Amino acid sequence: MSTGMGSGLWKDWRLHVLVLITVLVTEAIGTYSFTIGPGVVLLLPMLYALIIGLILYFTPIVKERQSKNAEPIIVLGVALLLAKIGVIIGPSLPQLIEAGPALLLQELGNLGTILLALPVAVWLGLKRESIGMTHSVAREPNVGLIMDKYGISSAEGQGVMAVYIFGTVFGAVFMGLISGFLATVTPLHPLSFAMASGIGSGSMMAAASGSLIEAFPDLENQIVAFAGASNLLSLSTGLYISIFIGLPLTEKLYSVMTRNQKG
């Protein structure tokens, strides 16, 4: 069955033509930047590609077959990205080791989704959906955790899937825009934003680091190395942070915030 599916994927000429046209159009547009106050917002070809792909998805041009066949291609693209990151990380190992504690502790920054988003979700009237939505950045390992603990049909499961889908569609766009802007408007070092871009999503990391590289081309290798190492750590440790800290903390804060609503 897998052989047939793979064969069908490569023979899906409509998908490959659409991808080729999208790449040619976005590369022809190139990078566009504009200033907001002292900061710079960078619009990269990847952003255009996401928007064009989203528009095409809701047109008759793209059938269900193309959307299904496109899913495994994303894995191939991320694999190439990871291979490039692995090659670049090697020469940058001394710098990564020197920044070791910062790289390890940056994972705790993902807990900010609880402290910032949970009160807003409760204020908006969301119930236990808010636990799934805010306990993490809701990438694949976190979706698996919620599904295992609460089930796919639970309120928590619906919440985590809502954020997962939203992050898949808009996360790379947001990360690409906000990283370049903040790196140029704040006094923080660009490598700190490179570390912050590694939240466990290859597409978000690529968009964020791409904006940083465009703004600081002389730091390209260091940005890719720090973003890649940070993303790898988030993938490997993020699930444990969610299991032992994130999810219990979200449950506790939710119970405190909704205590007067019960009954």
Q: Residue 255 has what pLDDT?
A: 92
- Whole-model pTM: value is 0.63
Which residues pair with residue 115 across a beta bridge? Answer: none
Q: What is the pLDDT along the chain (263 residues), one digit of tens a residue?
A: 444 445 566 667 778 888 888 889 988 988 776 666 545 566 767 778 878 887 887 887 877 776 777 766 665 665 666 566 566 556 656 655 665 666 667 667 777 788 889 999 999 989 999 999 998 888 777 777 888 888 877 899 888 888 877 876 677 778 878 888 888 888 888 888 888 888 777 777 877 888 888 888 888 888 888 888 777 777 667 777 888 888 999 999 999 998 876 54
Sequence-separated contacts (24+) of 86-94 with Cβ below 8 Å: 86/228, 88/221, 88/224, 88/225, 88/228, 89/225, 89/228, 89/229, 91/221, 92/221, 92/222, 92/225, 92/226
Q: Residue 6 has what pLDDT?
A: 53
User: How far is Cα 90 from Cα 82, in angstroms, rounded to an integer?
Assistant: 13
DSSP, collapsed to helix, strand or coil, labels residue 40 as strand
Tokens linked to 123? 């204020």
One-letter amino acid of 164: Y
State whether the Cα torsion 176-196-107-124 is positive or negative. negative
One-letter amino acid of 55: I
Q: Residue 3 has what pLDDT?
A: 47
Question: Tokens 């694949």 label which residue?
Answer: 140
State whether the Cα torsion 33-34-38-42 is positive or negative. negative
One-letter amino acid of 79: A
Q: Residue 1 has what pLDDT?
A: 41
DSSP, collapsed to helix, strand or coil, labels residue 36 as strand
Q: Give, as one character, the DSSP assignment of residue 167.
A: I
Which residues pair with residue 42 across a beta bridge? Answer: 33
Q: Give, as one character, the DSSP assignment of residue 39.
A: E
Q: What are phi and psi of 39, to 5 degrees?
A: -100, 165
User: How far is Cα 175 from Cα 206, in angstroms, rounded to an integer?
Assistant: 9
Tokens linked to 250? 């979200």
Torsion angle of C-alpha atoms 61, 65, 68, 69, degrees rounded to 10? -90
